[in-house]
Structure 1
Amino acid sequence: MSVTLQFRPDWPYAGGLVIESLARDGVYRSDFGGPEMLPQLSEMADASGFDDLDECVEAHVHSGVVIERDVEAVVLDPCFRDTAVEAAAARLGCAVEWHPGFRVATDGLDPGYRGQEYVDLARSLGDVLTPDLLGDAARSGDYDPQSVKRVWHYLARFGRAESGSL
């Protein structure tokens, strides 16, 4: 059986990038923490009132994911080609594959989805949202991490590229 774990490879973790931690340690660690976070995360999801991007748990990993033993491939967004993320992924010892990508123009974002403050933040970051742009924002320390996550929801929900469109 194959399982897909989605993560943000260029977001900050332990003084570097999540993908660098994977390459260095050979182990996946959820960016939500371990089992000790489950009660808090469940309470937040139950109280949110938002859509499935807030309320679903895509995967709950109860034990470590060992890259060498458990991973067939890491699949990256094309915005990470020729970057530190791709270089770190190449050190994982598994295949590196590419999906069609995510990008969304900020001028068409609907404030009714997450709120005007997140549309304003998205527009302050650039004309087009991409995963690497949001990773830059997350690492900068200039923005509330939850606010960047809300902007990421716009990208995840409305920015899926069609095969061959990038």
Structure 2
Amino acid sequence: MPQAAPSPRARALSHVASLSSGRPLDTALRLTLNFHPDREAAGRTVLGSLAQDGVYRSQFVTGTSNGGLTAHPGGDRWRWESRIFDGAYDEVPGEQRPVYGALNFRRSAVGAAPRFGSAHLRLMAEVLPRTTFCYPDSAAEPADFGVAAGMHLIDLAEADDRDALDDYIEAQIHGPVLLDRHIEALVLDPCYRGTPVEAAARALPFRTEWHAGFRLTVEELRRHGDYRGEEFVVLGAEIAEDGVLDARIIGAAARSGRHDLQSLKRVWHCLARFGAPAGTPR
């Protein structure tokens, strides 16, 4: 009797494993999924969608992203995945594609990739064997890959001098990330205490934790006009409250409909880069 063909997931994992080398990954390290908890899509916040769906979905399903919106046939995300996974997912529906996070090898309290949001989900160790890794981000068309059984990427990242927001090891988790099985905790910015974000978090089937918080004064923001551009300094100053920016303020601006979301993303980059809590890797 002929053997069944390997699944797309098995093909993808096997292909990346063939490109990987190095020591096995320390299983005490965790994957984190950074996101903005108060962003809305189809009338629901991200946390509301998580609570209702019970699963963390990829951009191919949600149509939303804190990076580029290119998850469609022929788009950049589709092309990057085709290259990395040797075409394993080219013909499958979005629900079967991997979801993206990062390896928190620096054990940062704000998650491994705050570029993508102030909050993060911390995943359990059991998802590591079905995760692939690359450095740098897949958008840079990397040549270095890893799996839990062979990971030399930490050495590469530690020796590199990339900007703090770009200095993460991307993780692609193959198979579902279920809220009631695969999440250790949700870690939130304290600017959301007493808000609907905290209330929504309490409805999720895992504990809520808090990091020290992102906070940036307009005075400090104005010292970094060369980081993303002066126009985003102007926008940040416009939406600031009492001369201060935090994640809640940017989220409210995003929901107002009065500002370009890509511009607000760059304001967030300034806050994440220069307003991170003390002790965050720089």
Do Structure 1 and Structure 2 share a fold, with TM-score over 0.5?
yes
| Preserved contact between residue 45 and residue 55 of structure 1 (Cα < 8 Å) | no
In the alignment, which residue of structure 2 is the partner of 1:115? 229
Report the TM-score when normalising by structure 1: 0.83
Please tell me whether residue 40 in structure 1 is matched to residue 152 in structure 2: no
Counterpart pick for 1:150 among 244, 256, 266: 266
Q: Match of 1:14? A: 42
The structure carrying a bigger strand percent of its residues is: 2
How many aligned residue pairs are there? 160
CA contact 1:73–1:96 (8 Å) conserved in 2:
yes
User: Sequence identity, in percent?
Assistant: 47
Alpha carbons of 1:9 and 1:51: their partners in 2 closer, same or farther (altered >3 Å)?
A: same
**Superposed displacement of residue 108, structure 1:** 2.0
Aligned mates of 2:215, 2:207 — CA distance in 1: 24
Paired with 2:56 and 2:227, the residues of 1 have a C-alpha distance of: 31
Q: Give the CA deviation at 1:12.
A: 1.2
Q: Matches of residues 22-101 of structure 1 in structure 2 within 5 Å?
A: 22-30=50-58, 31-32=64-65, 36=72, 39-41=75-77, 45-46=139-140, 51=163, 53=165, 58-101=170-213
Instruction: Select the structure that is richer in helix.
Output: 1
Partner deviation per Cα, 1:46-79 (whole Å, 9 max, x = no partner): 4xxx956369674434443211111010000001
In structure 1, stretches of 5+ residues that fail to align are none
Secondary structure in 1 matching 2:208: strand
Q: Please, which runs of 5 or more residues in structure 2 have no aligned partner?
A: 1-26, 59-63, 81-137, 141-161
* Equivalent residue number for residue 106 of structure 1: 218
Q: Give the aligned CA root-mean-square deviation in angstroms.
A: 2.8
For residues 7 and 38 of structure 1, what CA distance do their matches in structure 2 show?
A: 25
Q: Is 1:4 aligned with 2:32?
A: yes
